[in-house]
Amino acid sequence: MAEKREKLVLVGNGMAGIGTIEQILKLGGAYDITVFGSEPHPNYNRIMLSYVLEGSKTLNDIILNDWNWYEDNNITLHTGTTVTRIDEGSKQVVTDNGMIVPYDKVIIATGSNSFILPVPGCDKEGVVGFRDIADCDAMLAAAKQYNKAAVIGGGLLGLEAAKGLVNLGMDVTVVHLMEDLMERQLDRNASSMLQAELERQGVKFAMGKQTVELTGEQRVSGLRFSDDSTLEADFVVMAVGIKPNVTLAKESGITVNRGIVVDDYLQTSMQNVYSIGECAEHRGVCYGLVAPLFEQGMVLAKYLCGSETKPYEGSIVSTKLKISGVDVFSAGEFLDSPEHTVISSKDEWKRTYKKILLKNNVIVGAVLFGDVTESANLQKLVKQGSVMTDEIYTEVMGTGCCGSGAKKGTSVEAMADEEIVCGCNGVTKKAIVDAVTEHGFSTVDEIKACTGATRSCGGCKPVVEQILQFVLGDSFQQAAKQGICGCTTLSRDEIVAEITAKGLKTTKEVMNVLEWKQEEGCSKCRPAINYYLGMMNPDTHQDEKESRFVNERMGANIQKDGTYTVIPRMYGGVTTPEDLKKIADVSLKYDVKVVKVTGGQRLDLIGVKKEDLPKVWEELDMPSGYGYAKSLRTVKTCVGSQFCRFGTQDSLGMGALIERKYERLDFPAKFKIAVNGCPRNCAESCTKDIGIVGNDGGWEVFIGGNGGIKPRIADSFCKIKTDEELIEVCSAVMQYYRETGNYLERTSEWVERMGLEQIQMVILNNEDNRKELAARIDFALTQVTDPWKKILNDSSTRTALFEETRV
């Protein structure tokens, strides 16, 4: 009989908690794991929020563990759910929605909240913190409507928020109580250089200002300072600090000081309940940076798995500013005092500054500005309490014995096997060496996929590269070729070519024959290969559900509370009373929480339980709207010439025709179309993958639009006179995108990568190419289950369809 597994509940779905779970899984811990997260997302990299704000990354780019990861590791995840109490007597956790889950052990990793200055007006509209993706969304939305922003706080988060808002086009002023920026991490030299650089990049500063009131009516309109001066602002970001989120601990009777008090094995005052991360207080210290949180997690994971571990004795913190064009690093002590020996250099021409602090010849702190290539090395030296030597001086200051400027790299050969290289994820030198020698990995991306090193802040990347160079010797190539993911060095085009040349039929076959580094692949490459196989061999490929994302496997979009949203198809946004009645009946029967009209002119049935999904679809007896798939989502229409006094073309009929023709076919990414009956653009063709605009002479086609986090106005592709030509051109564009697009690459990115002229040359300037592309997509369509696949076969079918849509 199988041994009964203990139940481990993690409260908090952030980096600290999930990092601990990852370590437990690596150690083979035998737990049934349940995770509760208050946010509606899987685990993401909070360190990278500034990149989301500045627009260089999206939420998907910073996801650390996607929905598949939880499912693959048999972890039960409840997003959008807050644990309100831990009952020690019954050994159960209780949530805000009434859920009760038994436990043997609990880890509290609830993080921290933004500290909001308790000044008059702090509760007005337009005042936010900067801690999570929801705050990023609020800033992105504000930048579209408002012009003047104030960021209160000149620390790490405040400066990242300010630069992000400047990149979004706002007029931004940082308001700081002190005279120096980042005064808890930088000395005056580095602070003044940082301020000057940010001013060059468009950030304004109001230094030495104490905010006493936020002015305005319902929405904030400005700030008033203690000296009675004012600053106009219609959006305010509070970045003056964080406070540990200890609400759960307090409600449960666990000892709390500033944070949740823990011992050296992260145990709280309640038996079998532990705490790590920003919410925990260890030896009187609450840490707000990521590296200490992972150090805590490593100790706790080993402790819970019964592995030998040293107690957690605290961390030496370091800071790295994450703003494009500004490099700042600080570790350990940073302010001069009489007991310090100071080694420093400043180059105002190159805008670089380096300072190392010694105490009794021991390296106790460092500050870098402008050039942070030595940051990982200095962090290690400070953490180890290394004694300064001539060799180390030459190494970190970059000068030879004769002032030649010769500089040697970090001596990774002398590093101990168990020395931590990646403090964010607890990756040792030995783990990286083993990944190279045992698995044959030779690139940083492969090391990241295997071990997690460089996955968070990226500060350890130089040391990882040096270890690779040390192990591989002459075969190391710093600019080693990168593949579609860390499992392979092969690009998309190379994989497609190999599939054709070798006649590969399944995902497992591709990975085996093409010598994947990880036998089972990953959540990035498995869906991509499954798509490429289906696109190339639509008649023979057997779709692999296990390679699909969880939403696609379930046929519905998972929501933050674990329920699903069902989206029936409504062709061109048109439905019937009979279908509306079905939707109403099913919604009542299965306790659907909300029925929402979407931007794609459909109805979302929100809140369907997972076990009810098959019955809901059966009783609806309607095609799926594929709101979860990498396929045609919607064809948005205006009422067109059937009803509108301005309409020149039948957009309703054409929209329904297109939607019925192309539904269910896979694409590299989600695909949206809009059809307008006139150039007034009521269906918003300018932000769709294909936008179609009717005019007196026929149709105009636009491609490559996007209304998402990286908005892009579509390019005018061509003008067409007849409906038949329109269908042929749309088919050719779609198939060319299907055959040349990278997996998960939207058409907005595809058009910019391929070039509009290239796409026009292939499709518009070569009639044979266009017809062949259209024929290939028609063949692919015959291989999918589609009751409407014959709609273009003859004119009578088409006429009947238009009449049905009108009715």
Phi/psi at 718 (nearest 5 deg)?
A: -170, 170
Q: Pick from 530, 548, 566: which residue ends a domain?
A: 548
Q: Specify the pLDDT at position 323.
A: 61
Identify whether residues 138 and 212 lie together within a single domain: yes
Lowest mean pLDDT among 199-208, 584-593, 624-633: 624-633
Q: Pick from 185, 219, 240: which residue ends a domain?
A: 240
CA distance 667 to 741: 9
Q: Which token pair is 471?
A: 């192990």
Identify whether residues 436 and 543 lie together within a single domain: no
**Residue 554 resides in a domain:** no
**Residue 487 resides in a domain:** no
pLDDT of 216 > 90? The answer is: yes
Q: Specify the pLDDT at position 3.
A: 61
Q: Specify the pLDDT at position 445.
A: 76
pLDDT of 471 > 70? The answer is: yes
Instruction: Please tell me the pTM assigned to this model.
Output: 0.61
Q: Assign 321 a pLDDT band (cuts: 50, 70, 90).
A: low
Identify whether residues 214 and 95 lie together within a single domain: no
Identify whether residues 649 and 511 lie together within a single domain: no
What's 357's domain CATH number?
3.30.390.30
Q: Specify the pLDDT at position 380.
A: 80
What's 220's domain CATH number?
3.50.50.60
Identify whether residues 97 and 136 lie together within a single domain: no
Q: Assign 42 a pLDDT band (cuts: 50, 70, 90).
A: very high
Residue 757 DSSP label: H
**Residue 772 resides in a domain:** yes
Identify whether residues 362 and 383 lie together within a single domain: yes
What number is the average pLDDT over the span 67-85? 93
Count up the domains in the chain and report the number. 6
Q: What is the chain's Cα-based Rg?
A: 29
Identify whether residues 137 and 104 lie together within a single domain: no
| H helical segments located in 98-239 | 133-145, 156-167, 188-200
What's 433's domain CATH number?
1.10.10.1100
- The domain in which residue 37 lies consists of 6-112+244-304
What number is the average pLDDT over the span 772-795? 68
Q: Specify the pLDDT at position 376.
A: 74
Q: Assign 475 a pLDDT band (cuts: 50, 70, 90).
A: low
Lowest mean pLDDT among 559-563, 608-612, 734-738: 559-563
Identify whether residues 98 and 157 lie together within a single domain: no
What number is the average pLDDT over the span 40-44? 91
**Residue 807 resides in a domain:** yes
What's 727's domain CATH number?
3.30.413.10
Q: Give the model confidence (pLDDT) of 581-618 as tens digits.
A: 988 998 898 888 888 787 777 788 888 888 888 888 88
Identify whether residues 398 and 430 lie together within a single domain: no
Q: Which token pair is 696?
A: 């007196």
Identify whether residues 461 and 376 lie together within a single domain: no
CA distance 667 to 671: 7
Identify whether residues 232 and 143 lie together within a single domain: yes
Q: Specify the pLDDT at position 800.
A: 45
What number is the average pLDDT over the span 155-170? 88
**Residue 21 resides in a domain:** yes
Q: Give the model confidence (pLDDT) of 119-152 as tens digits.
A: 999 999 999 998 888 899 899 889 889 999 999 9
Q: Specify the pLDDT at position 460.
A: 75
Q: Pick from 548, 572, 591: which residue ends a domain?
A: 548
Identify whether residues 214 and 144 lie together within a single domain: yes
DSSP-derived pairing of the beta strands 211-216 and 273-275: unpaired
Q: Give the model confidence (pLDDT) of 233-284 as tens digits.
A: 999 999 998 899 999 999 999 999 999 999 999 999 999 999 999 999 999 9
**Residue 627 resides in a domain:** no
**Residue 593 resides in a domain:** no
What number is the average pLDDT over the span 673-681? 90
CA distance 365 to 719: 66
HSE of 19, CA atoms in CB hemisphere, 13 A: 31
Give the residue, 182 or 290, on which the prediction is more confident.
182
Give the residue, 490 or 34, on which the prediction is more confident.
34
Lowest mean pLDDT among 225-229, 290-294, 343-347, 775-779: 290-294
**Residue 580 resides in a domain:** no
Q: Specify the pLDDT at position 181.
A: 92
Q: Give the model confidence (pLDDT) of 86-128 as tens digits.
A: 999 999 999 999 999 999 999 999 999 988 999 999 999 999 9
